[in-house]
Structure 1
Amino acid sequence: MAKKKTEEKEIRHAGDPNVMGLRGAVVEQPITATLDENYMPYAMSVIVSRAIPEIDGFKPSHRKLLYTMYKMGLLTGSRTKSANIVGQTMRLNPHGDQAIYETMVRLAKGNESLLHPFVDSKGNFG
Structure 2
Amino acid sequence: MEICCDVNKMVRHPDLRERYEAHEPPRDVVEALQAIEEEMTVVIVFGFWCPDSLRIVPEALKALTEADNPNLQVVAATVPLEETYDLPIACGGVSVRKFPTISFVPGRYQTTDEIPVGTEERARFVEQSLSAEGLRW
TM-score range, shorter chain: under 0.3
TM-score (norm 2): 0.19
Higher strand share: 2
Based on CA coordinates, which of the two structures has the bigger radius of gyration? Answer: 1
Query: Relative contact order (alpha carbons < 8 A, sep ≥ 6): 1 or 2 greater?
Result: 2
Larger helix proportion of the pair: 1
TM (norm. structure 1) is 0.20
